[in-house]
A and B are shown apart, each in its own frame.
Chain A
Amino acid sequence: MNSTLQSLYFLAIRECLTAFRNRHEALSPLIFFSLVCVLFPLGVGASADLLRTIAPGIIWVAALLAILMSLGTLFRHEYEQGTLELMVLSEHPLIVLVVIKLVAYWLITALPLIVVAPFMAYGLGLTADAQGVLLLTLLLGTPVLILVGAIASTLTLVIPQNGMLLALLVLPLYVPVLIFATSAVNTVMMGGSAAGALYILAALCVLSVTLSPLAIVAALKIGVSQ
């Protein structure tokens, strides 16, 4: 048992080590996100009211696109190097390995976005309570984006240039998340309560956390059998 925990711990460390040694690649989602949030005020003109109204949408779309862009290579290195075969053949259940990888991915990719988002929100003129709800939606919504995106990413693993197809596949599943998240923040800005939309986001989060790993494991097994 001790050896198993040790193994799993090392596997988690390995994700962080790899990301750290490829810092530039790991930081691109954050840079993209910040770029979008900074360019929009410059692009649409600095009218404070306009910015405040579209701020939730900007931040959420920027986060969504940033995550989408880096998801295409989620398991690609492992697939091309043959490491994926070792993962499937490992004694550890594949679903555990997948969960470790996804949690590490969330920490490396989504957490920086969530940390930086309040600054962007302030720059776009969101009020304090709206910022709080925005953070909450990001906390609940980014896992859904990552989990659902991982399904599409692993399904398209056997296709070399999977960027466009990946976007097409995730779009139907991303749009509900986007709509509920922005509607939560917008409701708060108009003085209402965000509880309804937040509950639904939480439900989506729970649904994807429980079911996505199964789909991801199925897709990985398909990819490795080639």
Chain B
Amino acid sequence: MSLQLKNLHCYRGHRTLFTNLDISVEPGRVLVVAGKNGCGKSTLLKIISGLRQADEGEVFWNGLSLQENATEFEQQMIWLSHRNGLNESLTAKENIQYSTSLANYTDVNISSILERVGLKGYANTPVRQFSAGMKRRLAMSRLVSKPAKLWLLDEPQSALDKAGIRLLDELIIEHVTQGGAVVMSSHHDVSLTNITVDTLTL
């Protein structure tokens, strides 16, 4: 897999967020996009995911532009933003079924997924009754519910306590050592044992 950003420019209103961005992300690497609030971290991640189009320049996945390669890219990518993407009226189990249905990857063992993110036993609890940290963990369960080459994480540490951040780091390390890549935005410093972290500061 290869992710390449070529000559990306992005403007918001009167401000220039970034120009002439040329980056390659290889398997086994973690790219952290750092910077102050409002400097364009989320925007850059949205551009990489295809949710937003850059004002100039293109994103390439495995050599083809995102438009040409959309299906393959969507299959091999997992997106996790600081919003949870949950339906509060449904139970944890139904939410997992929902996101796996959207990803068209329904062959999953729900209880083992829940166990992995520390929500064992909550399968039939409505998400409305979860705490913020638990909702975040449920959102993170998307990371382990399908095999993917690229993880795009926008502020993944928000609303997580220490144990949650530890879990996130574990998942990232697991993913990266198996050859995946991660692009994430963060306010905080990101340090992962034995993993090289490239930082891009906007």
Which one of B53, B81, B89, B107 lies within 8 Å of A3 (CB-CB)?
B107
Q: Select from chain A the residue with minimum beta-carbon distance to B74.
A: A91
Which one of A81, A97, A225 lies within 8 Å of B53 (CB-CB)?
A225
Q: How far is the CA of A225 from the CA of B52 in the complex (A)?
A: 5
B86 contacts A83, C-beta separation under 8 Å: yes
A7-B102, A82-B83, A82-B84 as given contacts; A89 in contact with B90, CB under 8 Å:
no
B163 close to A (CB within 8 Å): no
B97 contacts A10, C-beta separation under 8 Å: yes
Q: How far is the CA of A225 from the CA of B45 in the complex (A)?
A: 11
Which of the listed residues B84, B86, B101 has the most CB atoms from chain A within 10 Å of its own CB? B101
Mask, A48-79, CB within 8 Å of B = 1, is 00000000000000000000000000000100
Contacts of A88 in B (CB 8 A): 51
A92 contacts B51, C-beta separation under 8 Å: no
A206 close to B (CB within 8 Å): no
Which one of B50, B83, B105 lies within 8 Å of A89 (CB-CB)?
B50
Contacts of B106 in A (CB 8 A): 3, 6-7, 10
Contacts of A89 in B (CB 8 A): 49-51, 74, 77, 79
B75 close to A (CB within 8 Å): yes
B residues contacting A by CB (< 8 A) are 46, 49-53, 71, 74-75, 77, 79, 81-90, 94, 97-107, 126
6 A-B pairs with least C-beta separation: A82-B83, A7-B101, A225-B52, A21-B89, A82-B85, A90-B102
